[in-house]
Chain A
Amino acid sequence: MSAGTSKIAVRVADVIKVNDLVTRFRFVRRDGREMPTFSGGAHTVVEMKDGDRTRLNPYSLMSDPADRSAYSISVRRDDVGRGGSLFMHQKVKPGDEMVISYPVNLFSLDLRASKHLMLAGGIGITPFLAQIKQLGHAGGNFELHYSVRTAALGSYVDELTAAHPDRVHVYYDDRKQAIDLARLLDGQPLGTHIYVCGPKGMIDWVHKTARAHGWPESAVHSEEFLAPQSGKPFSVELARSAKTITVGEHESLLEAIEAAGVEAPYLCRGGACGQCETDVLAHEGTFIHNDHWLTEDQRKGCKKIMPCVSRFDGRRLVLDR
């Protein structure tokens, strides 16, 4: 049993270069109807038809959740990744037809919060753009601390500071500016929730610092999409479907399963939601677990793998799929 994944047929309405690394894409529905509303923090999974292979990458929705005319995402170019962002940057043109998933939110606002304290690093700004618009309509109390490398690479800094001059604080790495987190955490009103989205190091730092300052884990929210890692090719036996497949260097295990015509459940494709959890029937070798889902005990048990981001190095792997 898996949760259904509803899809939306879209046309690329705009492709807009934001800066040297980031490009924004605007999608409208091909059937002319309205997009579903969504909640700030939600992402969509974009299907990319690249020759004879299909990539599915998650991107946070950054447009106003109340705007049902279109969805927007921003994609940061990754020159050493598996090629999804390069495909978006180099191949996708206005007028192209694509397929995206319904919104899924794994980084929702806690609406009980008396204040939302947002910490963004680089392209991690995108879910906050939608959350800020949502809170703006409802008169919500938020404060954003946004760390960027340089002014030239500071995506959406100008529009954020223009719209919310008292609530948005920007820090520039090249000016040796940094978020003084300890001081920030000290002055927050009771009932504040913290949200962090950015590089892994930043997320770990925020969790660690907040914990050290006595913040409950339930008041600290993070979202980190793991791009599936490249790695050595390996072969896998799919026991239920009686197929043996090879996972290529720049392909995820989940993508290889799908390419073999085997249905597998998924939602986030980033190792966070748990939907694609798969039973291991036999193995001779080492797991390369890259997910946020399995517990330490489950990893030691070698009975589970999350095929959206994790890999295997060894002679034999048999999955219940």
Chain B
Amino acid sequence: MTIQFNDETFTGDYTFRNSPRAIRRFPFPFHEDSYMYAVNLEPHLPGPKGSAFEHRFDVDEHYLSEMKDRARVLADDPLRCQSLPHMDLAGWDTLELIMTSKAEDYPDLFELHRDGDRWRWINRPMGIDDTFTFLDKTTLPYGPLEYITRQTQGDYAILDQRENDLWMDAGMVTTQADWSLDFDIGMSFMQWHAPVPLAHQLGVFDRALKFLLNLQQGAPVRRLNWTMTVNPNLDTSPENYHKWGPEKTTLTPENVGQKQHLRVELQTLWRLPRSNAMLFPIRGYLIRLEDIVTVPKWGRRLHRVLRDLPVELATYKGFIRNRPMIVEYLSQFDDGAPTSPGCFPD
């Protein structure tokens, strides 16, 4: 398998594009014509060949450009990557999990050679060939978490498990849907989820926490989450709201198909073996509305989901002001025909 990596931007001139192949493999999140919060977790087992679920950590055509964007965001704001002192071991767990997974799943792109604690890591797309001592952070240019997540798409939260609760004690967060690691660091599970509407009343978080506390090594799980983003901007952070928030007002009926993006997060959860902490990768995918509607089932379904979504959710997800325009645009692609069950294209 060879991936042709795009050279594109997620800011300024926004040259981000999805190839036809990337559109077909987009992890469309709606399995039916409506949406409500649920504990929608399933085992993170290898999915269909070529899909975003095929491998443990998906690498796609946006890899190199996303890594450049991450380096740019970190240069402006180093607090996007933090790790409390007791989370070092979990950082090494993360590095080990990602390196071993990528080397097995993409042998043409990544190699890991281990001789006891002496490890050699080759990242061909990024031109990296480093030799270091496992568990000795003086032998790496960054801490283990920052080192490996500067080379891996998606955001990463690491949750420590104590007192029957999970605590957000480390992370790398540069591609977030309007939440802040610097604000959430050290918070418990219920504290960092406090702003989410409706789901608390449904008991979603009580059940999710209970499930996650028992998550087992060797049995990772996944779920999809989604929101709406104007322009293909990965860094929709509270820190930079003054930059991307006003862009919501630039939407017109003429440009909505190009500028409005569906943003989907492929979230996975892994019990880390050495630290007993939990790794929470949040991998974001962006797609323009005009690309979604090239899959007729998705065009019909997205129209129905967004049209019928409760006001609280449209507000929380930040697109309430543009919802009428979005729904009007999508309605052109909904002929009222029934849709087949499941998320994949027909």
Contacts and interface: CB of A to CB of B under 8 A. Distances in A.
Interface of A: 1, 3-6, 36-39, 41-42, 65, 102-105, 108, 110-112, 134, 137-138, 218, 267, 273-275
B218 A1 contact: no
Given A102-B217, A267-B214, A4 B43 contact: yes
B251 interface: no
B162 interface: yes
B145 to A, nearest CB: 15
A105 B160 CA distance: 13
A111 B273 contact: no
Contacts of A4: 43, 216, 218-219, 221
A314 B208 CA distance: 35
B41 A104 contact: no
Instruction: Determine the main DSSP class of B at the interface with A.
Output: loop
Given A36-B273, A65-B274, A1 B39 contact: yes
B86 A111 contact: yes
27 contacts: A1-B39, A1-B211, A3-B214, A3-B215, A4-B218, A4-B219, A5-B216, A5-B219, A6-B217, A6-B218, A6-B219, A36-B218, A37-B273, A38-B273, A41-B276, A42-B276, A65-B274, A104-B217, A108-B161, A108-B276, A110-B162, A111-B87, A111-B275, A138-B89, A218-B162, A267-B214, A273-B214
B72 interface: no
Contact of A39 (B43, B86, B214, B275): B275
A218 B214 CA distance: 19
A1 B273 contact: no
B163 interface: yes
Nearest to B161: A108
User: 5 tightest CB-CB pairs across the interface, nearest first?
Assistant: A4-B219, A6-B218, A111-B86, A39-B276, A102-B218
B210 interface: yes
Nearest to A110: B162
Given A111-B89, A138-B89, A267 B276 contact: no
B161 A3 contact: no
Contacts of A39: 273-276
Given A102-B216, A103-B273, 12 more contacts: A3-B215, A6-B219, A36-B273, A38-B217, A105-B276, A108-B162, A110-B86, A111-B86, A111-B89, A134-B274, A274-B210, A274-B214
Nearest to A267: B214
B45 to A, nearest CB: 9
Interface in B183-222: 210-211, 214-219, 221
B309 to A, nearest CB: 25
B214 A102 contact: no
A1 B40 CA distance: 10
A115 B41 CA distance: 37
A1 B219 CA distance: 13
A275 B217 CA distance: 15
A4 B217 CA distance: 9
B216 A267 contact: yes
A137 B89 CA distance: 12
Contacts of A36: 217-218, 273
Nearest to B207: A1
Contacts of A112: 85-86
Contacts of B221: 4
Contacts of A134: 274
A14 B237 CA distance: 56
Contacts of B163: 218
Contacts of A37: 273-274
Contacts of A3: 211, 214-216, 219
A138 B162 CA distance: 20
Nearest to B162: A110
B114 to A, nearest CB: 11
B89 A1 contact: no
A221 to B, nearest CB: 9
A183 to B, nearest CB: 27
A13 to B, nearest CB: 21
Interface centre among B86, B163, B211, B217 (most CB of A within 10 A): B217
B276 A275 contact: no
Nearest to A3: B214
A280 to B, nearest CB: 18
B214 A275 contact: yes
A309 B338 CA distance: 49
A138 to B, nearest CB: 7
Interface in B212-240: 214-219, 221
A124 to B, nearest CB: 19
A138 B275 CA distance: 12
A80 B6 CA distance: 68
A55 B214 CA distance: 21
A303 to B, nearest CB: 16
A1 B42 CA distance: 9
Contacts of B214: 3, 267, 273-275
Contacts of A42: 276
A111 B274 CA distance: 11
B219 A102 contact: yes
A110 B211 CA distance: 21
A80 B214 CA distance: 31
B275 to A, nearest CB: 6
Contacts of B276: 39, 41-42, 105, 108
